[in-house]
Amino acid sequence: MKKILSPTKYLILLTLILSGCSNNINSTSEVSDPFENLNRKIFSFNNHLDTNVINPLSKKYVKIVPYKTRESISNHINWIGLPSTIINSSLQFNLENTVLASAKFLLNGLTLGFYDLDNNETKVFKKDLGSTLAKYRVSEGPFLMVPLLGPRNARDFSGFIGDIKNSSNISPNDLNIIKIIGTPVGIIDKRSKLSDTLESINKSSDPYIKMRSYYIQNRRAIVYDEKYNEDNDKIKDEQFEKLLQ
């Protein structure tokens, strides 16, 4: 009997094919955007949703929820993402990051990640399947604007799908339920942190181009620049300021 690919595997295969249709572009001056017309329409849809739903909710979230509570929620969201970092650090043969991420996940599991029991002394670098594919020289492919998710390239989008699948397979059912419940809160929490950045992007003469530039430069720095990973927050702030000028 002929085996049919699952929707998840089909999407991963499709995006990897798209990646293969483009050269491996690392230069910050080059962007592959063959679907710009469609991407702009999706960008407008996402902006409309953000303006009318997500942004108002994020403002209320910041206003109503105390800072310490928001910090705990952010800690929890980061903790939930650690299994993906563990898997991809292993695939990238980064033993140190694998061990540190595993230890942090187990330790903070005592509080479900809401409280960082080692006071952020363990420095774990976030790894995902997109960065793993880059490590194995899979080209980034064309730029995509994904409904609800926002900017991606084809490689990172396929990696995002793969990470969700892998994480759900290895995580206990209770943790998967927590993820589903926490996803809307995570979106609002992340939106509140990017409020000033997104506002500046939307005020530019061409918000789509500015968003594309922001994503491409920031993502390439994370994937390819080791110095970026050593001083993530400082360099990220500098890049935000440069991009928003």
In the chain, where the domains are located: 35-192
pTM for this prediction: 0.75
Q: In 161-181, which positions are buried (b, 16+ CB within 10 angstroms) versus exposed (e)? A: bbbeeebeeebeeebeebbee
Contact (CB, 8 A) for 105 and 167: no
CA distance 101 to 125: 8
Could you read off the pLDDT tens digit of each residue along the chain, which spans 245 residues?
Answer: 444 445 445 455 555 555 555 444 444 457 889 999 999 999 999 999 999 999 999 999 999 999 999 999 889 888 988 989 999 999 999 999 999 999 999 999 999 889 999 888 888 999 999 999 999 999 999 999 999 889 999 999 999 988 887 766 655 565 556 666 667 888 888 888 888 888 889 889 999 999 999 999 999 888 876 555 545 544 444 444 444 44
Asked if residue 152 lies in contact with residue 18, where contact means CB atoms within 8 angstroms, the answer is no
Cα 136 to Cα 93, 100, 141, 203: the distances in Å are: 11, 23, 14, 38
What separation in angstroms does the CA of 110 have from each of 75, 82, 210? Answer: 13, 14, 42
